[in-house]
């Protein structure tokens, strides 16, 4: 394989050294051109705007320049909060000799994976196919028509741990290109063809019923870590979508194992170092099986998904811990990630001043300096801060393995530590507003705010939704992201349409306002028209989007939902909220059949699919609360939101409220507010008391 040939060359090539005059010439040349990224809306691209490398954004001009010069393309993909992206940027992309070598032999393109997930998906498939693994920064070498011939991830400046030096790799690639260019191009074309074939492949269709969901829950349980929670070994990512599925499965079936697996995992994560014990919010993942040492970046999508899961667990269990975590995670979103325009920023960086965890880790001495000897020693014991340390250089992440015996003392200590931490250098914020991730946050805040009685969360969700609809919809089409009130040029992908539609449906339920339902169905209709594959599934890009090597379509759920599973969740919900919902239900069921094999055999990568399937199998359950805007209706509504299973559609308003089909033909009962509970097309008699409503809601299909 060509990649192996280049790897062989690397072992025999040393980095060439340009003369001082050549280096200075390259520096002078790129000093003007380094502003190619200066107009970007991506903080990640802006981080590289002053590199000595002559970066291009992804653009026709970059490919035209590579063709004109007949040189390969160096494609570097990453994101602003990525630790190893920062490391490679510091070690290589800021180095004058490396930059001169890149500029002399390549056209360099920098891509923010969060702004262009379609490009990332195409070349991540290539990287995984060539190396058996993926990650960021992603480093790919392409022909001038974009076909990959060698891919990898991080490369160090000097040979290390079996990895070649980056400049060795550059030399090997250039040697292959100049000495064996025809074979390089031929191999790249073959690789591109195989990737396109793989992207077009489908799993065998399979029906999704209660038995499939039972088997999925059983498979998850077989991989459950009974000691530390979670599924599988280290590194451990928060299984937020699997938790939501297990909670819904428990509510439908009464399975004690499903509830235990979800509850234990939620508690272990919340008590470990991956959760910010001072300010709330979760880091991206834990490098160890015990949730002690996180990869410190805080992503919007993780915290939105986890807020939803913890709020759901709080409603089911009534326990204090999940409610506190939900409240503190919502507070983190509103305090630390909300932008001045009212949207939500993408992430907080993993590093502070180039040091991972600098803001968050503590030593016993530092605790004493802030709190004094007595409180410092007490806090060290409570938070598992040891002399040896649990992180690096004798420092520790903060854990709260048990609730403090003195709650008032803990709140005082927590406030003092948080104030002291605020005086430390802080991680950078990637403040671009991504449509899909804001959709996840809007949904979580609307749903959790309604279920836990937090109207300010719902209000924040409304403000973010208004921003995205007002700013990101341009000429009737959704864009991917914005920054500082300026919308980016990248078109929205499937997950943007799906997550935003699902969020607007949640807002419709939380507020009773018809405008959110209208906007949601508009997005769903566009998704069905522009993203359908023709076999019941969906592409990730629209039919009129920029043509890439192939049209990506991802069906697995990873750290966040794939676009298809997010769309199916929205379609299932919308199917009972609109008068002609049958077409939405048909589309959802066709897609679920396409992912049925995945759900049954690989549930860890189908959590959001399974969440939708649980709702679909249950009906989804519908509750329409009718009546004047008075205490009687409010009581029934609050109870329905608190008691109803996850995935239940709950809407309240006056009978036959315009634009709200679920309230049509739902009159008052003897002049009093009433709740109508329906499963599919079968409805119970209307009830007027919370006792009757509880009895109706807990009945299982």
Q: What's the CA gap between 232 and 225, in Å, rounded?
A: 7
Most confident of 494-498, 669-673, 696-700: 494-498
d(C-alpha 228, C-alpha 500), whole Å: 34
Structure-model confidence comparison of residues 463 and 84, the more confident one:
463
The domains spanning 2-200 and 621-698 adopt the same CATH topology: yes
Predicted local distance difference test score (pLDDT) of residue 531: 98
Distance CA 430, CA 355 (A): 17
Q: Residues for the chain: how many in total?
A: 701
DSSP one-letter string for 43-102 = HHHHHTTTSSS-EEESSHHHHHHHHHHT--EEEEEE-TT-HHHHHHIIIIIT-HHHHHHH
Question: Residue 568: is it exposed, middle or buried by C-beta count within 10 angstroms (0-12/13-18/19+)?
Answer: buried
pLDDT band at 570 (very low <50, low <70, confident <90, very high): very high
Residue 430's beta-bridge partner residues? Answer: 347
Residue with tokens 């004493």: 368
Rounded alpha-carbon distances, angstroms, from residue 71 to 63, 64, 102, 108, 173: 10, 11, 11, 10, 10
pLDDT at 29: 40
pLDDT value of residue 22: 35
Mind giving me the DSSP string for 428-486? -EE--EEHHHHHHHHHHHHHHHHHHT-HHHHHHHHHHHHHIIIIIEETTEEBSEEETTE
Mean pLDDT check: name the lowest of 22-36, 188-202, 429-443, 605-619.
22-36
pLDDT at 5: 58
Q: What are phi and psi of 370, to 5 degrees?
A: -85, -40
* Predicted confidence (pLDDT) per residue in 300-333, tens digit: 999 999 999 999 999 999 999 999 999 999 999 9
- What digits encode the pLDDT tens for the residues 158-195? 998 788 999 999 999 999 999 988 999 998 889 888 88
**141 in Cβ contact with 79 (< 8 Å):** no
pLDDT at residue 565 tops 60: yes
CA dist., res. 120 & res. 434, Å (int): 15
E-strand stretches of 192-301: 285-286, 294-295, 298-299
CATH architecture group of domain 2-200: 3-Layer(aba) Sandwich (3.40)
Q: What is the reported pTM?
A: 0.92
Q: What is the pLDDT of residue 631?
A: 94
pLDDT tens for 238-282 read: 999 999 999 999 999 999 999 999 999 999 999 999 999 999 999
What is the rounded distance in angstroms from the CA atom of residue 656 to the CA atom of residue 397? 55
Per-residue model confidence (pLDDT) at position 4? 54
Res. 484: pLDDT tops 90: yes
Residue 661 structure tokens: 């089909």
Q: For 24-73, what is each residue's pLDDT tens digit?
A: 333 344 343 445 898 888 999 999 999 999 999 999 999 999 999 999 99
Query: What's the chain's average pLDDT?
Result: 92
- Looking at residues 487-491, what average pLDDT do you find? 95
The contacts of residue 12 (CB under 8 Å, 6+ apart) are none
The pLDDT value recorded for residue 401 is 97
161 — alpha (psi -120 to 50), left (phi > 0) or beta? left
* Domain spanning 621-698: CATH 3.10.110: no
Q: With pLDDT > 90 as the criterion, what percentage of the chain qualifies?
A: 84
Token pair of 448 as six digits: 């959790």
Name the band, by pLDDT with cuts 50, 70 and 90, for residue 15: very low
Residue 104, burial from CB neighbour count under 10 angstroms (0-12, 13-18, 19+) = middle
Class of domain 210-349+430-618: mainly alpha
Give me the pLDDT at residue 679, please: 87
How are beta strands 73-78 and 107-112 bridged, if at all? parallel
How large a percentage of the chain has pLDDT more than 70?
A: 95
Average pLDDT over residues 550-559: 94
Can you give the three-state secondary structure of 396-408, one letter per residue?
A: ECCCCCCCCCCHH
Domain boundaries, the chain: 2-200, 210-349+430-618, 360-424, 621-698
């Amino acid at each position: 394989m060509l990649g192996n040939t280049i790897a062989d060359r690397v072992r025999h090539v040393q980095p060439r050294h340009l003369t001082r005059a050549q280096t200075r010439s390259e520096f002078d040349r790129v000093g003007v051109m380094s502003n190619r990224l200066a107009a970007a809306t991506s903080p990640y691209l802006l981080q590289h705007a002053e590199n000595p490398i002559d970066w291009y954004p992804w653009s026709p001009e970059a490919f035209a320049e590579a063709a004109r010069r007949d040189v390969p393309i160096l494609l570097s993909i990453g994101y602003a909060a990525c630790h190893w992206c920062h490391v490679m940027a510091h070690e290589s992309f800021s180095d004058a000799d490396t930059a001169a070598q890149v500029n002399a032999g390549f056209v360099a393109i920098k891509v923010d994976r969060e702004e262009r997930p379609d490009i990332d998906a195409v070349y991540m498939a290539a990287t995984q196919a060539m190396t058996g693994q993926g990650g960021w920064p992603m480093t790919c070498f392409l022909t001038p028509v974009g076909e990959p011939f060698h891919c990898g991830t991080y490369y160090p400046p000097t040979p290390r741990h079996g990895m070649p030096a980056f400049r060795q790799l550059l030399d090997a690639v250039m040697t292959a290109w100049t000495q064996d260019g025809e074979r390089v191009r031929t191999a790249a074309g073959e690789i591109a063809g195989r990737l396109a074939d793989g992207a077009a492949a489908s799993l065998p269709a399979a029906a999704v019923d209660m038995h499939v969901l039972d088997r999925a829950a059983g498979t998850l349980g077989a991989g459950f870590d009974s000691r530390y929670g979670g599924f599988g070994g280290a590194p451990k990512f928060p299984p937020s979508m699997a938790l939501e599925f297990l909670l819904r499965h428990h509510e439908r079936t009464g399975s004690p194992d499903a509830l235990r697996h979800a509850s234990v995992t939620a508690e272990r994560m919340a008590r470990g170092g991956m959760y910010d014990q001072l300010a709330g919010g979760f880091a991206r993942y834990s490098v160890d099986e015990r949730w002690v040492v996180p990869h410190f970046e805080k992503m919007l999508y993780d915290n939105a998904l986890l807020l939803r899961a913890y709020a759901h667990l709080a409603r089911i269990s009534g326990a204090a811990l999940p409610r506190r975590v939900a409240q503190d995670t919502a507070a983190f979103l509103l305090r630390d990630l909300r932008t001045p325009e009212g949207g939500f920023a993408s992430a907080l960086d993993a590093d502070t001043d180039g040091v991972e965890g600098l803001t968050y880790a503590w030593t016993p001495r530092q605790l004493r300096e802030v709190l004094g000897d007595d409180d410092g020693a007490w806090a060290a014991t409570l938070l598992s801060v040891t002399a040896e340390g649990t992180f690096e250089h004798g420092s520790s992440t903060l854990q709260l393995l048990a609730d403090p015996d003195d709650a008032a003392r803990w709140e005082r200590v927590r406030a003092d530590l948080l104030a002291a931490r605020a005086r430390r250098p802080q991680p950078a914020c990637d403040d671009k507003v991504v449509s899909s991730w804001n959709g996840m946050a809007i949904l979580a805040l609307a749903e959790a705010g309604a279920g836990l009685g937090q109207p300010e969360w719902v209000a924040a969700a409304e403000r973010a939704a208004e921003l995205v609809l007002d700013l990101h919809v341009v000429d009737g089409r959704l864009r991917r992201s914005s920054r500082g009130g300026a919308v980016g040029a990248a078109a929205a992908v499937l997950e943007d349409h799906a997550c935003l539609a699902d969020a607007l449906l949640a807002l419709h339920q939380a507020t009773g306002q018809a405008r959110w339902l209208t906007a949601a169905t508009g997005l769903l209709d566009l998704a069905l028209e522009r993203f359908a594959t023709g076999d019941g599934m969906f592409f990730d890009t629209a039919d009129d989007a920029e043509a890439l090597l192939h049209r990506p379509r991802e069906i697995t759920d990873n750290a966040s939902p794939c676009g298809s599973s997010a769309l199916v969740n929205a379609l299932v919900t919308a199917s009972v909220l609109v008068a002609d919902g049958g077409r939405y239900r048909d589309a959802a069921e066709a897609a679920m059949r396409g992912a049925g094999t995945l759900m049954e055999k690989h549930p860890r990568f189908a959590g959001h699919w399974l969440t939708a399937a649980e709702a679909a199998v249950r009906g989804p359950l519908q509750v329409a609360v009718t009546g004047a805007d008075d205490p009687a209706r409010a009581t029934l509504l609050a109870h329905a939101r608190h008691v109803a299973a996850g995935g239940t559609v709950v809407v309240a308003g006056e009978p036959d409220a315009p634009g709200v089909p679920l309230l049509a033909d739902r009159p008052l009962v003897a002049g009093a507010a009433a709740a109508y509970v329906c499963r599919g097309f079968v409805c119970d008699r209307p009830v007027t008391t919370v006792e009757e409503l509880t009895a109706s809601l807990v009945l299982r299909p």
